[in-house]
Amino acid sequence: MRKFLVVVLFAFLGISCKTTQNIASRSPYAKMIDSSSVFSQSITGMALYDLGEQKMIFERNANRYFTPASNTKLFTFYASIKTLGDSIPALRYEIKSDSLIFWGTGDPTLFHPDLKNTKTFEFLKTYKNSKYFYFSDGNFTNEYFGEGWSWDDYNDYYSPELSPLPMYGNIVRIKVDNGQLKPQPSIFTNSFYKKEKGSYIKRTVADNQFLFPQSLLQKPDYQQDIPYKTSTALTQQLLIDTLRKNVSLLNIPVSANAKTIYSMASEDVYRVMMQESDNMLAEQLLLLCGATLKDSINSSFAIKSIIQNHLQDLPDAPKWVDGSGLSRYNLFTPRSIIKLLEKIHASIPEEKLFSILATGGKSGTIKNLYKTEEKPFIFAKSGSLGGVYNLSGYIITKKGKTLLFSLMNNNFTKPTSQIRREVEKILLQVRERE
């Protein structure tokens, strides 16, 4: 019995020493978080995972829920990978006698100012086998805004409305040219009215009237993107104006005999969404997943389906409500994001994956951070809202290891730039040590 107790005691001491050593080896990250004056009044969570050894090497509040902001786009990205193919489904269509009937899929690329999709336009513009054109939004069962969005963001470029057939990114891009406002699409040319005060253009809440101060006309480099108020009637007008064809409206579900045309490579859309954190692309891609799964353009259905079929093994059940992260109702834990990053890495070749994500010192939202004269070493997705800054992704250490990380910060009042730099300090230490 005494011999047994001695063996147990030494075994316990061995485990205790090993645990102590592990804690000591990870303590620099804990110390950096705990001693940081920047993090002192906010909530910080961190998870660090060794992909090669498949083990967690550091956790701090990793089981706590955080508002993810645009880290939500990692979930939308994964949903798209699992649902969409190599090309984006652009339209569903059916030919009946002398009529072409078509439905949107949620594809965000048609005339998007930062993408080059011409296939959808060419199909509709040059299609000559039908005399009559009909557009139906009968497959759109979503709201025009996401759940929990701030209503007063309606005038900001990052908050366009959702629709079954987006055009021009669902925004009006306004430039000043020779002392005149030049909107794109041009259908809004006569929708601008002067106001006495202000420094920018503001749309009225309920419709597409744009108020601008006279002083803007003296700024030749001025540009502003404003979401327009979407409607089926406006979509019809834009189609007629662009195609120079009469387009009538229907409200019928997608036909069982409908065919699909495709617009552009999915990878090219993902790259803009992830690097530039484009909310419109994220929201519409999630809707597109719904349309692909069920011929119903609905983000709630898409989220439910992806969680049930692909995310049941996350450590903590996500509260996921939109595609972009504009909603503060979204809640994820750092360790669940780590699991998601692992799933993404297993679903797409690493070289392609890293080319899609923002790259430290090189591209996207972290191009001014993590600069090095060596090869880029961090590939990630940032997420920002008022009082929120998160960064999650992949880091290549100096020893050549690939680590997954999620560093989430909520409830701070300091400038986001300070939080961002503090996160950079920690991840630079990770690169050096691991």
Listing DSSP states for 84-110 in one string gives --SEEEEEEEEEETTEEEEEE-----T
Position 17 scores a pLDDT of 43
CA distances from 243 to 121, 122, 125, 237 (A): 8, 9, 6, 10
Position 21 scores a pLDDT of 39
CA distances from 119 to 89, 113, 416 (A): 11, 15, 41
Query: Consecutive 10-residue runs of the chain (434 residues): their mean pLDDT?
Result: 45 43 61 95 97 96 98 98 96 94 97 90 86 95 95 96 97 95 96 92 96 94 96 97 94 95 96 97 97 93 97 98 98 98 97 98 96 93 97 97 98 97 97 94
Position 426 scores a pLDDT of 97
Position 223 scores a pLDDT of 96
178 burial type by CB count under 10 A (0-12 exposed, 13-18 middle, 19+ buried): exposed
Position 129 scores a pLDDT of 77
What backbone phi and psi angles, to 5 degrees, belong to 297? -80, 95
Non-local (6+) Cβ contacts of 425 within 8 A are 32
Domain definitions of the chain by residue range: 29-78+287-433, 79-286
CA angle 233, 236, 237 (to 5 degrees): 90
Closest CA to 346 of 82, 83, 72, 76: 82
Position 374 scores a pLDDT of 87
Position 373 scores a pLDDT of 83
Q: Cα–Cα distance between 19 and 213 in angstroms, integer?
A: 65
- Domain 29-78+287-433 sits in CATH at 3.40.710.10
Contact between 433 and 30 under an 8 Å Cβ cutoff? The reply is: no
Non-local (6+) Cβ contacts of 36 within 8 A are 422
180 DSSP assignment: E
